Amino acid sequence: MVQDKEWTEYDDEGEKVAVHSLPTRWEICDYCEGEGTSCAYLGDWTGSEWAEEDPDFQDDYMAGRYDRACPDCKGSGKILIVDLDTLEARDPILAAKYFTYLEEREYRMIERAAEMRFGA
């Protein structure tokens, strides 16, 4: 049995309104695709950069010897997410509030990314 996730609801002034218990389920991590490791921190290689590296490094790199635990799943290959279908079936009003929260959070993230891109 998977435990519920706690979600704190705030009003427009930032005051805590309620703490809700949301149903969860396990899902394969999107970031590492279930592998539990990531080499994304190493960056991308151009063909010429790769050609400059010695064969031992290339073999080690391709074998994953420089990989680190995935930052999202911490190496487990899976993440605990809110089960939106179960939430909607259990409490449609709470589900609507949570959907609104997710949409607003996504909008704020996009807005922040745009501000960072344009130096604001």
pLDDT in tens, the chain (120 residues): 568 888 988 888 888 988 999 999 999 999 888 988 876 666 677 888 888 888 898 888 888 787 888 888 999 999 999 999 999 999 999 999 999 999 998 888 888 888 888 876
Write down the pLDDT at residue 29: 93
At residue 95, the 3 state secondary structure works out as helix
pTM of the model: 0.62
The DSSP secondary-structure symbol of 74 reads: T
Cβ 87 vs Cβ 22: under 8 Å: yes
Q: How far is CA 36 from CA 1, 11, 39, 64, in A?
A: 22, 37, 11, 11
Report the amino acid identity of residue 27.
E
